[in-house]
Structure 1
Amino acid sequence: MTAFVLVSGPFTGGWVWDETAVRLREAGAEAYPVTLTGMGERGGEAGSRADLETHVEELVRLVDGIAAADVVLVGHGYGLHPVLGAADRRPERVARIVALDTPLPQNREAAVRSVPDPEVRALMADPAWDGGPVPPPTRDTWPRWGSTEGVPAEALNRLARRAAPQPPGTLTQPLLLTGAGSALPVTGVLCTANGSSIDLVEMLVESGPPQFRALADAGIRFLELATGHWPMLSVPGELAATLLRAAAGEGHQVSAPERAHVPEGPTHLLPFLLDVPEAPRERRGRIDLHLPGADALAEGPRPAVVFVHGGPVAPDQRPTPRDTPFFLGYGRYAASLGVVGVTLDHRLHGLADYPRAAQDLVEAVARVRADPRVDGDRVALWFFSTGGLLAADWLAAPPPWLRCVAASYPALAPLPGWGAVESRFRPVDVVGSTAGGPPVVLTRAGREHPAFAATVQDFLDAAAKNGVEVDLVDVPLGHHSFELVDPTDASRAAVERAMRSVLRRLRD
């Protein structure tokens, strides 16, 4: 017999699983909907003193008391944090972990990093916050925590009515994992109306940040539900059937991409496609300056190109972006052409981190412009991949010294399911909104993922409507990150053309 332990997200309790639990029991399984200490109707038991460790220990005790041979731990939203913590302590008792429309957190990651509501994030980041319980959403603000599509009006009213303050320590205390449960099989149940899908996972595995490669592990499967983020309220019967399929090991396995010309190993460590000479590099805090030769510097301050990486990038990833062959290559390439190439490490570690990354970029640019070897009136910003969202601020209010905005295979609006990204980071909405804005050099991969390609087309349509000058550099046979995965003559020619276009605008 299989026993399902059902752990809900913030502000809720085990009651959200009632109908799903009934369906599981009717199918012959055991079901244990959990209301954790300090949450839901148990809010008065520990109040704000409950934290993640409280919940991990509680789940461990529950697992220890279950006699069924197969225990499946199901985590939804915040609930996945204590689920992983308990599985790490009792791996021999857990048959499978189910991540219900929730990305897998990493070791030492606190749940607050993935809180999608910007007002809650701002509250918890405010130095004046008293550290008290986090207020629950209202009926109108529940959609900030995930799509409510398919949830009947009565159920949505009940969700709002029964929502309870969340103990802050559950969101701020980091998840500590020993690795004991790392080999346990995992099923991700993706709710497509909330923006997640198997296609999106395959895109991230193929060309997203390196940490997503782990999603192609043989022990991970994916199933989809055509509903919003609350399937236990919108489609409880379908959810029960999907959980039973997950327990049986069913689901789609994502495969890592196979390309004969790409060596094995992490994509971000592949060599840069151009053979460029080394250049003097100076480190200044979060930025590196790649300096042109002495003859060029003797002519006076030089224009600068600031290269902005995408992400999210794990905080402990080594090398960091500016030390990878990719950004070393771009920085040196700019220096070889007589301008200052600038690379930086900004702190885009999670989808909620775009404001912090944007501030890192502002500070980096100010530092670059203050350097006496840089002509502060001639600067270009060049964004890559999901770093493209950071272009929004500069397009909305372009300073006079910003001579050009470049973007390579960018996301120019948040991707499906990226509800945690603040609405301000939408370049498609602001391109051309200010008269006299900078020209754009946009490099487009012909074999781009549909989610990225859609944002690029929307951006081009908006730019044309608003009269923005766009130099479009197409790589018809190129994939996302074509400089690394498609190091062809056509790719080299595209990089050279894009750089010439940027430099022409810096020198005009």
Structure 2
Amino acid sequence: MTAFILVSGAHTGGWIWQEVADRLKESGAEVYPVTLTGMGERAHLAGPETDLETHVQELVRLIDGVDAPEVVIVGHCYGSYPVLGAADRRPERIARIVCLDVGLPQDGDSALALVPDGAVRDRLLRQAGQGEGDDWRLSPPALEEWRRWGSVAGVPAAALERLTSRAAPQPAATLTQPLRLSGAVAELPTTGILCTANGSTIAFVESLVKLGDPRLQALTDPRVSFFELGTGHWPMLSAPGELADVLLRAAAGEGHRLSATDQQPTHLRPFLLDVPERPRERMGRVDLYLPDADGPRPAVVFVHGGPVAAGVRPTPRDWPTFMGYGRYAASLGAVGVTLDHRLHDLADYARAAEDIAAAVELVRADPRVDGERVALWFFSGGGLLSADWLAAPPPWLRCVAATYPILAPLPNWGLVDSRFRPGTAVRTAGRLPIVLTRVGLEFAELAATVEEFLAAAKDCEADVEVIDVPLGHHGFETIDHTEQTRDAVHHAVRSVLGHLRG
């Protein structure tokens, strides 16, 4: 006999699991849909002292009272925090942890990271730090605001209205108190269920693991498995039957395993063009690739994507792709510029934007650079950083380029500030030339952001040139060494340099 303990996200309660629970019971399982203190129908029991530890202790008591030999504990969104805390206290009772459409929190993390409004996060942090504040609860979202907490794809209108009407204020200390783990939970079998309409896929997770982020290497443990559901962030409302089936399969030990590989990571493979070596000058976080030329030359600043963990080595400016682009630009008479910026987490976009602005000013002040002729070229997750420059292009910015970019935050990227929306910013870009390289074999969730941007650009008649690579993958420069991809790089580089010289 397997017992499922189902723990819901912020503002909700055990009621949200009703259809899933019914289907699990039909299979013969015991099911415990949990409503924690201060949530759902137990909202009236909360006070300012209700915190994450309150919820952890409640789950520990529930686990102690379950007689079934196997306990599978499931956490959705915020629920993963008390789930991990309780499993860490009772590891001998837990057969498997299931994290439903949420990352795997670590010791010291707080659920405040899940709150999509930066101003609200800052207010709650101030209150927690000062130990004061009469407003000790976070109000639930209005009907039209749920999509900010995650994709509502597939949720029937009636279910969304029910979600809104039954939502309760969340005790703030449950969000601000850090999760404390001893390490025991790391030894437990774990399953992640990714909701693809919310921006997560197994392929995307695998691509992040291959970057070498040390925080993600644990995901290759054979005890860790993954499933996908083709729905939004609330599958218990949008796909309860499919979710129940996946939970049963997870309990049985099924699921996709990420493979640990000793092969060279794809991003460290050789650049697709054989470009000549160029002198490279390193100034702090910035590298200059210098051309053979007298007098100031135009510059192209190549901005890497991310987030890239702080511990990843080599850092992006030493990846073959960016070294290749920097050398290629220099071989054609421009100063190629690469840099390391501090986009280490989704909350770091503002800090990364500061790094890029500082790098640009450093480059423009260099006597070997024509400061009135500069292009900025953004890659992958760095695409969001183009928003500042599109919104108010300075006169010296002659072109913005983007290659397999992410041009809108994914639905589950709640930490990204609303300022980083290129599709909104392009409406004030005027006639600034934009060169966009689009790959045909892109992750679907990323391709959707490009199409959204292009639709906005078309509406405002922005000057966008699209270079299509139908058989190109995300990061094709070190993956797809074909004539098509080489032609695309030649085309894009020469187009950008043409705008610099025009």
TM-score bucket (shorter structure):
0.7 to 0.9
Query: Once the two structures are superposed, what CA deviation does each residue of 1:236-286 show, in whole Å capped at 9, x if it has no partner?
Result: 5654444233322344x266699xxxx8133333343445425333333xx
Residues 1:495 and 2:489 aligned together:
yes
135-144 vs 31-40, which moves further? 31-40
> C-alpha displacement at 1:382, in angstroms?
0.5
* Match runs of 1:12-411 below 5 Å: 12-18=12-18, 20-21=20-21, 23-25=23-25, 27-36=27-36, 39=39, 47-53=47-53, 55-106=55-106, 108-121=108-121, 123-124=123-124, 132=133, 133-140=136-143, 141-148=145-152, 149-150=154-155, 153=158, 156-157=161-162, 159-168=164-173, 170-175=174-179, 177=181, 180-182=184-186, 184-191=188-195, 194-196=197-199, 200-206=201-207, 210=211, 211=213, 218-225=222-229, 228-233=232-237, 239-251=243-255, 253=256, 264-273=263-272, 274-277=274-277, 279-284=279-284, 287-292=285-290, 296=293, 299-411=294-406
Query: Once the two structures are superposed, what CA deviation does each residue of 1:330-359 show, in whole Å capped at 9, x if it has no partner?
Result: 344444555443333334344454444434
| Residues in 1 aligned to 2:429 and 2:482: alpha-carbon distance in whole angstroms | 38
Residue type of the partner of 2:155? Answer: G
Q: Which residue of 2 aligns with 1:4?
A: 4
CA contact (8 A) 2:124 2:172 kept: no
373-382 vs 174-183, which moves further? 174-183
Residue type of the partner of 1:289? Answer: D
| Residues in 2 aligned to 1:207 and 1:445: alpha-carbon distance in whole angstroms | 18
| Residues in 2 aligned to 1:94 and 1:393: alpha-carbon distance in whole angstroms | 48
Change (3 A) 1:121 1:306: farther
> C-alpha displacement at 1:395, in angstroms?
1.8
> C-alpha displacement at 1:381, in angstroms?
0.8
| Residues in 2 aligned to 1:476 and 1:138: alpha-carbon distance in whole angstroms | 41
Query: Once the two structures are superposed, what CA deviation does each residue of 1:359-392 show, in whole Å capped at 9, x if it has no partner?
Result: 4433443444344554332221111112212223
| Residues in 1 aligned to 2:458 and 2:23: alpha-carbon distance in whole angstroms | 53
Query: Once the two structures are superposed, what CA deviation does each residue of 1:412-462 show, in whole Å capped at 9, x if it has no partner?
Result: 3344655654555443444364433x2122223343334434444554555
| Residues in 2 aligned to 1:461 and 1:40: alpha-carbon distance in whole angstroms | 40
Name stretches of at least 5 consecutive residues in structure 2 with no aligned partner: none
SS of the residue 1:413 aligns to: coil
| Residues in 2 aligned to 1:418 and 1:48: alpha-carbon distance in whole angstroms | 29
Change (3 A) 1:85 1:266: farther
Query: Once the two structures are superposed, what CA deviation does each residue of 1:19-67 show, in whole Å capped at 9, x if it has no partner?
Result: 5445544543223333445655666777444544554455445434433
Residues 1:479 and 2:483 aligned together:
no
CA contact (8 A) 2:192 2:227 kept: yes
| Residues in 2 aligned to 1:430 and 1:226: alpha-carbon distance in whole angstroms | 30
Change (3 A) 1:435 1:493: closer
| Residues in 2 aligned to 1:216 and 1:205: alpha-carbon distance in whole angstroms | 9
Residues 1:431 and 2:426 aligned together:
yes
Change (3 A) 1:411 1:257: farther
| Residues in 2 aligned to 1:106 and 1:209: alpha-carbon distance in whole angstroms | 20
| Residues in 2 aligned to 1:137 and 1:310: alpha-carbon distance in whole angstroms | 33
Change (3 A) 1:505 1:373: same
Change (3 A) 1:105 1:495: farther
> C-alpha displacement at 1:157, in angstroms?
4.5
TM score, norm. by length of structure 2: 0.81
| Residues in 1 aligned to 2:253 and 2:47: alpha-carbon distance in whole angstroms | 38
Residue type of the partner of 1:442? Answer: L
| Residues in 2 aligned to 1:393 and 1:58: alpha-carbon distance in whole angstroms | 46
CA contact (8 A) 1:206 1:256 kept: no
Query: Once the two structures are superposed, what CA deviation does each residue of 1:396-418 show, in whole Å capped at 9, x if it has no partner?
Result: 32111111111111223344655
Name stretches of at least 5 consecutive residues in structure 1 with no aligned partner: none
> C-alpha displacement at 1:123, in angstroms?
3.8
| Residues in 2 aligned to 1:84 and 1:503: alpha-carbon distance in whole angstroms | 52
233-242 vs 158-167, which moves further? 233-242
Change (3 A) 1:463 1:106: same
SS of the residue 1:264 aligns to: coil
| Residues in 2 aligned to 1:271 and 1:178: alpha-carbon distance in whole angstroms | 42
SS of the residue 1:478 aligns to: strand
235-244 vs 264-273, which moves further? 235-244
CA contact (8 A) 2:148 2:411 kept: no
Residue type of the partner of 1:247? Answer: A
Residue type of the partner of 1:381? Answer: L
> C-alpha displacement at 1:8, in angstroms?
1.9
SS of the residue 2:264 aligns to: coil
CA contact (8 A) 1:115 1:352 kept: no
417-426 vs 480-489, which moves further? 417-426
CA contact (8 A) 1:390 1:425 kept: yes
TM score, norm. by length of structure 1: 0.80
Change (3 A) 1:27 1:497: closer
**RMSD over aligned Cα atoms:** 3.9
SS of the residue 2:170 aligns to: coil
